[in-house]
Amino acid sequence: MPLPDAALSRLAIDGGRPVRSAPMPDWTAATGRRFGAEEKRALARVIDSGRLWRVGGTEVSALEEEFAHLIGSRFAVASTSGTSALHLATAAVDPDPGDEMVLPAITDWGTAAAIVATNAVPVFADVDPLTACMTLESVVRVITPRTRAVIVVHMFGGAADVDAIVAYCRPRGITVIEDCAQAYLTVPPGGEGLAGTRGDIGCFSLQQAKHISAGDGGLTVTDDPAIAERMRLFADKGWPRETGVRSSALFGMNYRMNELTGAVARCQLQKLPQVIEDRRSIGRRLLAGLDDLEGLRLASNATPGSHTFWFFPLFLDTQRLGIDYRTFTDAMTAEGVPAGGYLGVPLYAMPPLMEERVYGSTGFPLRRPDGSARYHWGDCPVAERLVGSDLVVVPANENLTEQDVDDTIAAVRKVHNAYA
């Protein structure tokens, strides 16, 4: 693809003319979300009913049924956030203190928080350099006799090889949880079914930035009735309300989604297939416009029929380009197309884990009996390189116009050309 005229000029960060001056659609505002009259009517319906909590309400229970049907699971349990959805999943595993759960080194803090909140120990697996997802090989390297679960995180709308991980873990009695906060309607390679249905439990987020949003909220799915019941109880303080007796059958939290959130989420759920179709169309256009740039690699799992493009990741060959993501994204943003890195450090390098400060100064449950540090720089070198230098994430908002996408392509090519 030839460079557009704008790409031949001086970078905006160096005083040149930017590719665009109009702001891009932004998920933090109405320009980047699909909220409208349907959500307003749904909120009014709940307020008029006078029942805003889920107990005895209809919205949240209907959302659970509708989401389970859409995803292809038998059961869905709603909760207050994507983090609480993960906590329902790790609590359903019912680990003993000190048991281990494996997760990738690149993911949101909530994935690790859900493990530590059950008094289990996060164990980090490295990731694939062109997907940022964990691999079977990286998981196998860190499995121990104390491993109770593996949390497979599908990054940026692209799938990890979850079927291979399930095939390894299931015969060993290891539960596989899928973190699908960034992967609504994503299709993993091989087999049948969407992300969230390939393992034992799937977790989704309704936070502001996700494919669909209710401000916050979580959904956890499973085909196992025992797991579903345990998660349902855990989300409601362990209270088996059908008995009519106010008693806690097991330890639980108050993670009940309210009816207002449920009503908005139901409206958003109706819009989800079109949102995904539009993101895939944007993804196809970006792939076609950026697949010939030396020193800039595209995600190896970025197939429009399976990827759902929560972000559009770019992987820099920093040695060839001579820059890291900070230089690249600063230049992109100056061109009027915001872009960024991701995390900055791998999850295990964040202070609560690296300093073993979770429950006061006890070091529990992270501290080893001999007092040696559990987490070290160098544990996951691929992840460290991606978040430290190589990984660029470009917004792939469903409200981008063709002109917005073309400007994005022009900005990437202009910055790449300046450094290549």
Q: What are the contacts of 202-205 at 24+ separation with CB within 8 A?
A: 202/71, 202/73, 202/177, 202/178, 203/82, 203/85, 203/86, 203/88, 203/89, 203/177, 203/178, 203/179, 204/67, 204/82, 204/85, 204/180, 205/81, 205/82, 205/85, 205/181
Q: Which two structure tokens, joined as six digits, stand for 291?
A: 């697949």
pLDDT digits (tens, 9 = 90+) for 350-377: 999 999 999 999 999 999 989 899 999 9
User: How high is the pLDDT of residue 241?
Assistant: 87
pLDDT digits (tens, 9 = 90+) for 92-143: 999 999 999 999 999 999 999 999 999 999 999 999 999 999 999 999 999 9
What is the CATH number that goes with domain 37-268? 3.40.640.10
Q: Is 19 a residue whose pLDDT tops 60? A: yes
Q: Is 17 a residue whose pLDDT tops 70? A: yes
**Residue 215, amino acid:** G
- Cα angle 30, 397, 294; round to 5: 150
Kindly give the pairing relationship between strand 296-298 and strand 175-179: unpaired
Smallest CA-to-CA distance from 299 within 112, 71, 106 is with 106
74: left (phi over 0), alpha (psi -120 to 50) or beta: alpha
User: How high is the pLDDT of residue 6?
Assistant: 46
Q: Which two structure tokens, joined as six digits, stand for 352?
A: 């609560």
pLDDT digits (tens, 9 = 90+) for 31-72: 999 999 999 999 999 999 999 999 999 999 999 999 999 999
User: How high is the pLDDT of residue 8?
Assistant: 53
Q: Is 7 a residue whose pLDDT tops 50? A: no
Bridge partner residues of 150 (DSSP): 102, 176
Q: What's the pTM?
A: 0.96
